[in-house]
Amino acid sequence: MRYNPTKHGFDEFVGFLTGGCDYLVHNNWMDGTEVKKQEGYSTDIITDRSIDFIRRNKDKPFFLYIAHQAVHNYYQIPSDPPGTRGRDIPLQGEEARARYKIMLQGLDNSVGKVLDVLRELNLDENTFVFFFSDNGDVRMSPNERPYRGGKFSNYEGGHRVPAVAWWPGHIKEGWTSDELTVGMDLLPTIMDIVGVDISNQRKFDGISIKDHLLNQTDLPDRIVFFGYEPKLGTAMRDGHWKMLTKGDVVELYDLSKDIKETTNIADKYPERTKAMKAAIEKWKQEVTVHPKATGNLR
């Protein structure tokens, strides 16, 4: 219950708290803090409840976080008969790809329905919409992939995902950006857009990209750390330089010349390697929770 969104600032919550779930049977879904069975296909339920929320709050400012289950495995689709078990559906191959496509089309239709409602209610020019994925490639396509690695990887294929920012009349239509942005930039960006300063309550890990989105200004130079210890290790981005560490293994890549991370050049640049490795170790110490720490860690 402590991880329920209503315990962390949200007024309403409909969904599940596990990492993955059945698309057809929803016995463990929650409505607020109560377990309440939902009927229908996951994508449709989330879409319908999101649209209902927008309609109920159309006359006042609102924040809506739509965290779709699709296209996470298992690859169940709306036409599957009741009782179809996700674990019986292949995760790779032609059938998996065909199912994945159907699920992706359903997700695309969901986004379209949400945008249509915003237009219908004349909220489109007063609503900032940001769409992105939570991880990279799951190796569904048989085609050659542009990046190394996939989901559960610190290589580019594990986390480099497209994103779309939509705000008619504010964000230039058709404009694209190659700047490095991360999910932790969303909170400071949204707070900047709505003009609410919470810097005294929270130390931001990310930065506001408001001016970048609205005025196409360059983002400031910054160092970004990420990782999953100890399984994946820790990675660092410093401009076009990228370092990955895991135990005693150190890899250094120049993404401006080697986006697929094929050639480890750590030995070629010993001073940069030493400096970045030290920066990673320092950052890991700063974000490590002390084993004796107690209380509300926020």
Tens digit of pLDDT for each residue in 156-187? 999 999 899 999 999 999 999 999 999 999 99
Phi, psi of 187 (to 5 degrees): -60, -55
As a whole number of angstroms, the distance between CA 146 and CA 157 comes to 8
Please tell me the least confidently modeled range out of 5-9, 159-163, 244-248, 288-292: 288-292
Residue 98, domain member (yes or no)? yes
Q: Which residue has the tokens 């929650």?
A: 30
Domain membership of residue 26 (yes or no) is yes
Residues 140-147 have a mean pLDDT of 87
For residues 202-213, give the mean pLDDT: 94
pLDDT at 114: 98
**Closest by alpha carbon to 82, among 19, 23, 18, 20?**
23
Model pLDDT, residue 287: 86
Q: Are residues 65 and 11 in the same domain?
A: yes
Position 135 in a domain: no
- 34 and 55, same domain (yes or no): yes
Domain extent, residue 71, equals: 1-127
Helix (H, G, I), strand (E, B) or coil at 235: strand
Pairing of strands 249-254, 241-246: antiparallel
CA-wise closest residue to 159 among 176, 175, 180, 140: 180
Judge whether 159 lies within some domain: no
User: Measured between alpha carbons, how far is 137 from 157 in angstroms, rounded to an integer?
Assistant: 6
pLDDT band at 288 (very low <50, low <70, confident <90, very high): confident
| CATH code of the domain covering residue 267 | 3.30.1120.10
Q: What is the pLDDT of residue 149?
A: 93
Pairing state of beta strands 30-31 and 223-228? unpaired
Taking 70 as the threshold, does the pLDDT of residue 101 lie above it? yes
